[in-house]
Chain A
Amino acid sequence: MKAKVLLSLILLCGNLAAPSARADDAAPAAPAAPAAPAVPPACELPSYLLSSESQLPKVADAVKAGKPLEILVIGSRSTTIPASEDASYPARMQAILKDKLPPSEAVHVSVEIQSKRTAEEAATTFVKLMEAKKPTLVIWQTGTVDAIRAIDPGDFRGAVTEGVAALQNAGADVVLMNLQYSPRTETMISVPPYLDNMRVVAQEHDIPLFDRFAIMRQWNDQGQFDLFSPSRGPELAKQVHDCLGRALAQFVFDAAHLGPAQQQN
């Protein structure tokens, strides 16, 4: 009798969770601003993956004041596609942002690749980097090298915290971007601790986190991209980066509240 009570409790929990999960999956793509170019079907994402409670006040101010928008992407080898720089997500983001923003708004995206460096190693360069570039917004993509080298997640969190503080102290808005979803290496690289810790740092500092991992997994699960593909050609990488660039532009656009209202000003 009691066992039945327990069983029904478990089933109840299951029922509670299942429909909500499905509701998630079914959610259509983000309600894009009407002025924005149409999102290709391959890039579609549920809106929760593109929304953030945290904001980008400095980006908003710069656009309002009509100042040029200087964006710096600090990344690693997965920021680019070998031999196809123009198709990488920073370049795509720049193109999309230019489309979305009024023509008078100058947008410039620069890229700083920290190849094979952990978050801690990368963060040591930030003070000098910020003096040289003076960006309005820094998109810091990190975690992969730390995961490959199995850096202590506590140390990783400390390094990301320090890095974010350095970037903020230099006067920039910060967006954190986490790892790629890489199903082929899932049995070899333990990713979850690094995702969790980046989420924690983003929460603590109230900065937006661009969840590249969840976004790419969504595409793979929904069949838009086959990320298991062993193909050596650059086509898949180009398409994925195009979609990432679009998603990132949308994400920045929304987090800075650059809706149609601001565009008209």
Chain B
Amino acid sequence: MTIADQVTGSTIAGTANPAETKPRAAAPAISLPAIGERELRLDLFRGLALWLIFIDHLPTSLLTWFTIRNYGFSDATEIFIFISGYTAAFVYGRAMLESGVVIATARIMRRVWQIYVAHVFLFTIFLAEISYVATSFENPLYTEEMGIMDFLKQPDVTIVQALLLRFRPVNMDVLPLYIVLMLALPVILWSMKWKPDVTLGLSVVLYAVTWEYDLYFSAYPNGFWAFNPLAWQLLFVFGAWCALGGARRMSRILASPVTMWIAIAYIMAAFYVTLTWYLPQLSHLMPKRLEQWMYPIDKTDLDVLRFTHFLALAALTVRFLPRDWPGLKSPWLRPLILCGQHSLEIFCLGVFLAFAGHFILAEISGGAAMHALISLSGILVMWGVAWVISWYKRVADKSGAKTKNAVGNADLAGGG
């Protein structure tokens, strides 16, 4: 969320820890927030986004009612991409100022490679799952749906297309989007270093052009990418812009009560609209003209309604959840924050667990109780693994020098 905000302005003095700050801070063309304590709100909300994405990937259940997509236009993906843009700009922007464009680009490319490998790993699991279903499931009710197995007939083509990121099964769309955005990051940062506002402006222009001329990334065997990077880059670049000082400049706007009330009104309106999806009895209260103008609310191209809904949520979050909120240190939020701190690993784990959850639900029809159990144990597993990873970082991999990780840390840079 727009977690940047007043944060940087108000807390630098208090939290900047000289021991952690690299001595040769260049005089920047863009202002970077001081490196201090980790911005726990970023971790918190990214962790939350990861949990919500996991729950949304499972079949609908009672828990699904707790995910934000049921209460408005935007969902966890928006949070995730925004925070990824924010943290990536924060970490690699600093690297670019301190070590130059080449080094920063090299580091970004290493990260891109990690995300790519993670994607291929997930694809392998998907392949195993779909092959299993193809060989064991022959319900005559679904002969038509089994047409999806046709691609198993030409694994050579399919696998190569998957490696080219053109064949992406359902639920595996976020990592390719993230890879493309990270590939563009050196250019984005380089341009931000020059003029952040112009960069954001260019991003808006690209977004508008994408909508106007219907640009898209093609996919295999046909169709297009489910998350169009040409549109979603807006959220990523906006996150980067916030991280590099934009948020601080917006702090006055964010603090104004007018903004707050607009945001509240918009969120309530969006909530009402969403309600009509679940309670069709209400839908006759919706003006037909409004419906025609509004629908469909396009996720592929990041509909303006979704983007503004995210902005409204972010504005409220930043207002009501200050950076130094003591609750961030509470043990109750610890699991979320831990997950948010190892986002790439936990994201992949979440996709895997969703596959596994589907599998278990299919094999053991345990009904709602089983469903809830799977969701909860999935979240517990995510928490446990996040804990183990941080234990590795803290204890097992202890190489002496870098115990506190703020600089150039790939986790902070935001995993897929």
Contact = CB atoms under 8 A, between A and B. Distances in A.
Contact of A3 (B59, B222, B291, B327): B327
B308 interface: no
Interface in B113-170: 126, 129-130, 133, 136-148, 169-170
Contact-residue bracket for chain B = 35 or more
A196 interface: yes
Interface in B358-385: 358, 361-362, 365, 367
Given A17-B65, A236-B139, A151 B280 contact: no
B402 to A, nearest CB: 33
A232 B321 CA distance: 55
B292 A187 contact: no
Interface in B202-237: 214, 216, 219, 221-224, 226
A185 B133 contact: yes
B50 to A, nearest CB: 18
Contacts of A94: none
A131 interface: no
A84 B208 CA distance: 52
A14 B65 contact: yes
A149 B144 CA distance: 12
B327 A48 contact: no
A67 interface: no
Interface string A192-204: 0100110110011
Interface residues of A, number: 61
A81 B141 contact: yes
A30 interface: no
A230 B139 contact: yes
Nearest to B359: A187
Interface in A149-193: 149-154, 157, 180, 182-190, 193
Contacts of B147: 116, 144-145, 148
A225 to B, nearest CB: 9
Contacts of A226: 365
B338 to A, nearest CB: 20
Contacts of B300: 153, 193
Interface stretch (A18-26, A33-41, A96-104, A246-254): A18-26
Nearest to B368: A221
Contact of A187 (B142, B222, B223, B358): B358
A144 B65 contact: no
A33 to B, nearest CB: 21
Q: Is the interface of B mostly helix, strand, loop or mixed?
A: helix
Contacts of A6: 316-317, 320-321
Question: Which DSSP category, helix, strand, loop or mixed, fits chain A's interface?
Answer: helix
Nearest to B357: A187
A223 interface: yes
B355 interface: yes
A211 to B, nearest CB: 9
B65 A187 contact: no
Contacts of B148: 148, 185, 188-189
Given A6-B320, A186-B358, A189-B148, A17 B142 contact: no
A116 B292 CA distance: 31
Nearest to A217: B60
Interface in A71-97: 76-78, 81-82
Interface stretch (B81-89, B177-185, B271-279, B408-416): B271-279
A196 B296 contact: yes
B139 A237 contact: yes
B66 interface: yes
14 contacts: A3-B321, A6-B317, A6-B320, A17-B70, A24-B278, A48-B280, A48-B281, A151-B223, A153-B296, A187-B126, A189-B170, A197-B296, A234-B140, A237-B141
Interface of A: 2-3, 5-6, 13-14, 16-18, 20-21, 24, 48, 53, 76-78, 81-82, 116, 144-145, 148-154, 157, 180, 182-190, 193, 196-197, 199-200, 203-204, 217, 223, 226-234, 236-237, 240
Given A144-B144, A217-B60, 10 more contacts: A2-B322, A81-B141, A144-B147, A151-B223, A182-B142, A184-B142, A186-B170, A187-B171, A188-B148, A237-B140
Shortest beta-carbon contacts, A-B, top 7: A150-B223, A77-B144, A237-B141, A2-B320, A78-B144, A6-B320, A182-B145
